[in-house]
Structures are given as C-alpha cells and as structure tokens.
C-alpha cells in the first residue's frame, strides 16, 4: 500500500553479474526505510521468485512516462547501460521530462560504482 508506482530495470552487463534496481514512487507520508525495503523484497520473493528480487530499491519522485502514459522502461534501461540522455529518450515524447534528470544522475553514479 505504500508504493504508488514502480519501475524495475534488469541491467545485464556482458561479463558481469546482473544488477536490477527497483524504482518506487511512494504514497504521501511513506518513508523508504530498511523495513519497507525488506517488505517490498519479501512480497516480490513470495509472489514471483527470488530471481525477481531487486538488488536495491530506490525512491523517486515520479516514473518517466511517454505522452500516452506508458512507463519508459526501454529508454531508462538504455540510459542506465550507458547511452547518452539524448540518445536514450526524447523529452518532447514524455509526459514528465523533468523526471529524467534523476535517472541521468543515477546512471552516472551507477557507472562509477560498477567501475570502482
């Protein structure tokens, strides 16, 4: 009930272990603490399988959407795998182009972590 919207991205890196972040938009007043992260992971584990449990749960203000309202899973995946923001997604084709900035910054941080 705390999660209002979500987007999971499976990032399979060639020659590296898979990494799967889950981005969540929480209901007003909800806090993404360790207890909520664990409940989310447990729900996924029990309703799907251990393979579907994300490596990390990340709170975001909003999930990027196309003008028709679809979640932008493929463009966000491309961005997180290293594509430039200009190549990954067109702000003109988005309902909420401002939501992209978080994912641009997250992609930079992820790249730094993966190469550390």
37-54: burial string, b at 16+ Cβ within 10 Å, e else: beebbeebeeeeeeeebb
Residue 32: per-residue pLDDT: 97
CB 54, CB 82: distance < 8 Å: no
Q: Which tens digit of pLDDT belongs to each residue from 20-42?
A: 999 999 999 999 999 999 999 99
Q: Which tens digit of pLDDT belongs to each residue from 8-19?
A: 999 886 666 789
| Domain count for the chain | 1
Which pTM value belongs to this model? 0.92
Whole-number Å distance between alpha carbons of 70 and 54? 21
Selection from 23, 55, 61, 62 nearest residue 41 by Cα: 55
Q: How far is CA 15 from CA 10, 11, 18, 43, 94, in A?
A: 15, 12, 9, 30, 33
CATH of the domain at 53: 3.30.300.30
How many CA atoms lie less than 13 Å away from 113 in the CB half-sphere? 9
Whole-number Å distance between alpha carbons of 81 and 19? 11
Structural domain containing residue 85: 3-114
């Amino acid at each position: 009930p705390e999660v209002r919207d979500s987007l999971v991205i499976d990032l399979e890196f060639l020659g590296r272990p898979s990494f799967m972040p889950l981005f969540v938009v929480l209901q007003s007043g909800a806090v993404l603490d360790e207890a909520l992260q664990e409940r989310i992971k447990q729900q996924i584990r029990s309703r799907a399988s251990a393979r579907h449990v994300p490596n990390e749960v990340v709170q975001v203000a909003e999930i990027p959407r196309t003008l028709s309202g679809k979640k932008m899973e493929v463009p966000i995946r491309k961005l997180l795998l290293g594509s430039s923001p200009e190549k990954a997604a067109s702000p003109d084709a988005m309902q909420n182009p401002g939501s992209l900035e978080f994912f641009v910054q997250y992609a930079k941080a992820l790249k730094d972590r993966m190469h550390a």
